[in-house]
Structure 1
């Protein structure tokens, strides 16, 4: 899938074909938001009902507003995430308002691992974590389908070994 952006700049290098992360990442993140914000909102509403204190309604209303904000924001954030494999490096981009792009040369990678918690496994997604010699340049690609995460881990590890062997 090619990037829909026509512009070329620091976040959209020319000729780069971006691969999106799985849309199931949005569902997993929304489930987390529902648990962390929805459950306390319901508890706050029950407390406000039982106590009869009108001021207590501010808590569930604020939590519900944050939950609505998550429902709007999270899918956009996930759509903005992507990665691209080039001949000598891997590009990772994310962000809507605060955009970032990380370029990781294959020769700088020390090891690559795949992680998935219980919620991620339930949605069939995983995170590929890249570790380099400098902790500040470690990068992660969250929300990859499990088979793509495995493929990418093996591909990056072999490219990294090839680049190190050539030094």
Structure 2
């Protein structure tokens, strides 16, 4: 049986997220687990005795587990621009693929919070008429987010004008 590439037709060209989002999420994970480990160790040391302060080290297992999971989640995010729609794919255990037709887009936003700006990141948020079909692409470079916003807006206007 032939696949799409063997038959001469190619599938969508997927684009992954840059590494800044992974760095930000791992930094936040390390900060929170470090804080929890310190608080747990201090409380256990004060109320149960100095030997129990080592219980705070259990949070290091959570840090290691979260570190791996964040990497897998980050690698699962990708998007592809096709002729008539935008594909967004994400998820490790439960794979989710969102298809947003250009003609159905009502609003394309680029947002960036304080931590995202510090790491040079932005998020593209797509709004459609159906509330459940809103989609987003997090962790993009601001220039790429603005390029994508402008392209999607132009394609959305062209497609909706043809309706």
Q: Same fold (TM over 0.5)?
A: yes
Q: Identify unmatched segments of 5+ residues in structure 2.
A: 5-9
Q: Which one of 16, 22, 37 corresponds to residue 12 of structure 2?
A: 16
Q: In the alignment, is residue 105 of structure 1 matched against residue 90 of structure 2?
A: no
Q: 2:83 aligns with which of 76, 84, 87?
A: 87
User: Is 1:117 matched with 2:138?
Assistant: no
- 1:24-73 CA-to-partner distances (Å, cap 9, x unmatched) read 11111111212322211112112223331766754x34432221111111
Tell me the CA shift for residue 128 of structure 1: 0.3
Distance 2:13 2:58 in 1: 40
Given that 2:44 and 2:50 are in contact with CA atoms closer than 8 Å, whether structure 1 keeps it comes out as yes
Which residue matches 2:7?
none
Q: For 2:152, which of 142, 149, 156 is the aligned residue?
A: 156
- Superposition map of 1:131-146 within 5 A: 131-146=127-142
Gaps of 5+ in 1: 1-6, 9-13
1:94-130 superposed Cα distances (whole Å, 9 cap, x missing partner): 1111111000000110000011111111111111000
Q: Give matches, 1:16-95, under 5 Å.
A: 16-51=12-47, 52=49, 58=55, 60-95=56-91
Post-superposition, which runs of at least 4 consecutive aligned residues in structure 1 deviate over 6 A? none
Larger radius of gyration: 2
Please give the TM-score of this superposition, normalised by the length of structure 1.
0.85
